[in-house]
Amino acid sequence: MHNSFGNIFKITTFGESHGPAIGVIIDSVPPNIPIKESDIQHDLDRRKPGQSSVTTPRKETDKVEILSGVFEGKTTGTPIALLIRNTDHKSADYDKIKDIFRPGHADYTYFAKYGIRDHRGGGRASGRETAARVAAGAVAKKILDLKNIYIASYTLAIGDIVAKTKDFAFIEKNPIRTVDPEIVDAMIKKIEEVKAQNDSIGGVIETIVSHCPVGLGEPIFNKLNALLGHAMLSIGGIKGIEFGEGFAAAQMTGSEHNDKFYMDGKKVRTSTNHAGGILGGISTGENIIFRLAVKPTSSIAQRQATVTADGKDSFCEVTGRHDPCLCPRMVPVVEAMTAIVLVDALLLNENK
């Protein structure tokens, strides 16, 4: 199993949902970047469970500790190790699924691949692993801050309810992390409805990167969109990604889709941005835009047909404490992975 991501700015995560701890080592952080535990804690708090009625009521403090790489408040260039102890162990909750494969989860595939699994809370396959990514992303964001590169990730849709307007200042003011103040109540209502039915609902997360410099991305296999796609599809529950017009481009003509260039003073700009800020795998300097398909949470408190580890038909009912919709808490994860990809591309780009 490989647990690293990135070429220069590389993160390596570890940890199981119900083991002693999870964490991450971040390699090749440039020296002399100011970083405090509270910077990282801020983002972890945005991802942590129990924030509102639309998320799981589990209580995990997700307190981060910086173990290395920071000296007198600044990075030294050495690897930054971040540790998050697991505290809300209710392993007994999982005893009844010890020998059963939950539909939609990785229980079966892990067992088939490794012949052993830590079944408690999904073990390594738990969404809890993403807390380590968020912690690493907080470090990446400090580097982007110094370059004035800004990432906005937000819930664009819950089920068939889609944001119409985009008020970025609203994102952290509502539990859905959506951008449309007019539509947030309908989204909350939708989630509460499926929750009442012991069910869950999917959604769409959109990300816009602004002030991205031209030139990020390696234009053959490590195109910026390919790296972002890799990063996003490595987040559990993401079923699709599209850039700019995305699947709508399949129905467009070239004369519609091509973004025409013009000079804005000394800067090359495009009059439209159907491409989503990337041409030939390299950032154009326009906003980078992509959307993610988020599947409905697999853990639902309904009786579902399944099989046992020893090969018998059976049923399971997942009774733990789960998010009825993944989007609100996944937004910081998407933002973190975007930051990690951008910093990696930035460091490689300066490498000319």
Please give the residues from 249 up to 268 whose contact with its own copies meets the rule CB under 8 A: 249-263, 266, 268
Taking Cα atoms as reference points, which of 106, 104, 109, 26 lies closest to residue 70? 26
In this complex, which beta carbon is closest to its own copies, that of residue 55 or of residue 306?
306
Q: How far is the CB of 225 from its own copies (least distance, A)?
A: 5
Interface positions, 176-215, toward its own copies (CB under 8 A): 194, 197, 199-204, 214-215
Interface positions, 310-329, toward its own copies (CB under 8 A): 311-313
Decide if residue 113 touches its own copies (CB under 8 A): yes
In this complex, which beta carbon is closest to its own copies, that of residue 101 or of residue 170?
101
Find the DSSP H helices in 72-154. Answer: 107-114, 129-146
Task: Tell me the site size for its own copies, rule CB under 8 A.
Answer: 147
Q: How far is the CB of 46 from its own copies (least distance, A)?
A: 21
Decide if residue 112 touches its own copies (CB under 8 A): yes
Strand pairing partners for 218?
Answer: none
Q: Which of 282, 336, 341, 343 touches its own copies by CB under 8 A? A: 282
Give helix 327-349 / helix 37-47 axis angle, nearest 10°: 140
Q: Which of 63, 66, 99, 166 touches its own copies by CB under 8 A? A: 66
**Site mask for its own copies (CB under 8 A), range 114-143, x = bound:** xxxxx----xxx---x--------------
In this complex, which beta carbon is closest to its own copies, that of residue 51 or of residue 347?
347
236: region left, alpha or beta (phi > 0 left; psi from -120 to 50 alpha) = beta
Residue 143 contacts residue 35 (beta carbons within 8 Å): no
Q: Which of 58, 89, 223, 321 touches its own copies by CB under 8 A? A: 223
Decide if residue 37 touches its own copies (CB under 8 A): no
Q: Which of 49, 54, 55, 79 touches its own copies by CB under 8 A? A: 79
Which letter does DSSP use for residue 311 in this model?
S
Residue type, 240: G
Helix (H) or strand (E) holding 267: strand 267-270
Q: What does each C-alpha distance from 281 to 220, 235, 243, 270 come to in angstroms?
A: 7, 21, 11, 16
Distance CA 78, CA 17 (A): 27
Taking Cα atoms as reference points, which of 178, 181, 218 lies closest to residue 7? 218
Q: Which of 246, 273, 317, 320 touches its own copies by CB under 8 A? A: 246
Decide if residue 347 touches its own copies (CB under 8 A): yes
Q: How far is the CB of 279 from its own copies (least distance, A)?
A: 5
Residue 297 contacts residue 281 (beta carbons within 8 Å): no
Widest distance between CA atoms in the chain: 70
Distance CA 264, CA 272 (A): 13
Q: How far is the CB of 214 from its own copies (least distance, A)?
A: 5
Decide if residue 300 touches its own copies (CB under 8 A): yes
Q: How far is the CB of 45 from its own copies (least distance, A)?
A: 21
